[in-house]
Amino acid sequence: MIDSLIGNVESQGIFAQIAFCAGLTLIALMAAKFTIVRPWHKLVTSTEAEWDDLIFASFKSRLYFFVILGCTHLSMSWINGPDSELIVTLTPFFSVTYIILTTTIASVIVYYLTPVLMERYANKSSVTVSGGNPLISFFLRGVIWLTGLLLALNELEIELVGLMASLALFSLILGFAMQQTIGNIMNSFMLAIDRPFEVGDRIEVEGVLGSVVSVGILSTKILTREEKLVVIPNNTLVESTLVNHARGGGDGMARRISLVLDIGVDYREDIAHVKYTLLNVAKDCPYVIKSPKPVVLLTELGDYSKMFKLFSWVKDYTDELIARDWLLSEIDEQFATENIVIPYPIAVKLDELQSDTPDKSKASRQRVAKAQMTKVDNKQQKERKKSKSRVKEIKKLLKNPDLEKNEVEELENEVRSLENSLSMFEVDDD
């Protein structure tokens, strides 16, 4: 039946063949629309992900073009004959178009799918960064396009040996001329793999402190607190010691930052009273998080004062300066209320600073503070012993070879959290 139909069309002449081919092309387009495009459209609209919508939008137009191109190729072969001079001449160009079209589809899929896969298979328990996905996508797409162009040139019967030799010589000359530039490009891939920071992190490189605003192929741009834009070559980032002030937070809290204040008081001040006052100020600060809890330690007996360190933690490193201002202002007010003296580095006679009448209210506050700090210290020691015991217990459990991968990750995360709390003197007081 099909053969007789084709024979009838051929007997009607070339215009009938063209009309018949146009009709078949329209049918093929409708078939592609109802069997591929519409079902796929329903599928992608039913999901909340954006990447599949973007792939679908790019693929749909290429699919229609592929159908029209294929139908045109088959129609010309039928009308002119598969062995005609025209078809023999045009077939390599049709093949090149198929290859380039397929290459564009693969490139688009890699472009939209790479960030999704990188995010999905990243270790959720560790601190991760973004900014490297575009570089990995660029590399993969480069490989796809290089492969596609080589296949296309092969279809056109262009001599690849001479071309590759010329490219090798050109690459060698270009490599010597652009050594630093190529080094920056390669190191950008190293940064993408190692992932030491993300856009928005506050980093310090060779004395330059600022927030990362962009990561490029050749350089990384940092905005300082004075709003100066500093461009740092990627070579420098890889070869230098880099301090990321936004990545030190424990338990995967990447934006958390520790805030340490050095406070000196007069030698005649009671240690417990000073500690208790500083702890209360830190706990009342709206920028300081509740866990890890603030800690005050006596760190030095200086020439003029007893030196204390107030350890506290701010949820977002962008609030560091505001939190520091709040704490220092409140400490100054509370020290004035509690009659706690901050000494000056000058030589004075002790009797000049001593009052003839003792401050009974201050002595009472000192006794209360000492009792409270004794309670806090005892709880701290109990919590530290409990944490150390739990760490030993988990390390024994990790030696079990029958543990699942997710169980091992959970136990390792718990160990890191406990060891982090031990190093930061975490206290659980009422």
- In tens, the pLDDT along 181-205 reads 777 777 777 777 777 887 777 888 8
Q: Is the same domain home to 229 and 281?
A: no
Q: Is the same domain home to 230 and 123?
A: no
Which of 128, 150, 176 is a domain's end point? 176
What letter would DSSP give residue 270?
-
Q: Is the same domain home to 17 and 165?
A: yes
- In tens, the pLDDT along 338-353 reads 999 988 765 555 555 5
Q: Is the same domain home to 262 and 237?
A: no
Instruction: Band the pLDDT of 92: cuts 50, 70, 90.
Output: confident
Within a 10 A sphere around the Cβ of 210, how many other Cβ atoms? 21
Q: Is the same domain home to 225 and 324?
A: no
Q: Is the same domain home to 64 and 160?
A: yes
CATH code (residue 261): 3.30.70.100
For residues 422 and 30, the model is more confident at: 30
Q: What tokens were used for 340?
A: 């706690």
Q: Considering its fold, how many domains does the chain have in total?
A: 3
The pLDDT value recorded for residue 274 is 93
395: in domain? no
Q: Is the same domain home to 43 and 149?
A: yes
The pLDDT value recorded for residue 66 is 86
Nearest-angstrom CA–CA distance, 139 and 101: 19
Cβ proximity of 383 and 428 under 8 Å: yes
Q: What number is the average pLDDT over the span 11-36?
A: 84
Q: Which residues contact 200 (CB under 8 A, 6 or more apart)?
A: 211, 212, 246
252: in domain? no
- In tens, the pLDDT along 221-236 reads 888 877 788 999 888 8
The pLDDT value recorded for residue 128 is 39
Which of 375, 402, 418 is a domain's end point? 375
For the ranges 18-22, 153-157, 272-276, 379-383, the maximum mean pLDDT occurs at 272-276
The pLDDT value recorded for residue 130 is 41
Q: Which domain holds residue 317?
A: 257-375
Mean pLDDT of the chain: 78
The pLDDT value recorded for residue 351 is 54
- In tens, the pLDDT along 290-349 reads 888 899 999 999 888 999 999 998 887 778 888 999 999 999 999 999 999 988 765 555
404: in domain? no
Within a 10 A sphere around the Cβ of 325, how many other Cβ atoms? 11
Q: Is the same domain home to 267 and 136?
A: no
Which of 156, 176, 196 is a domain's end point? 176
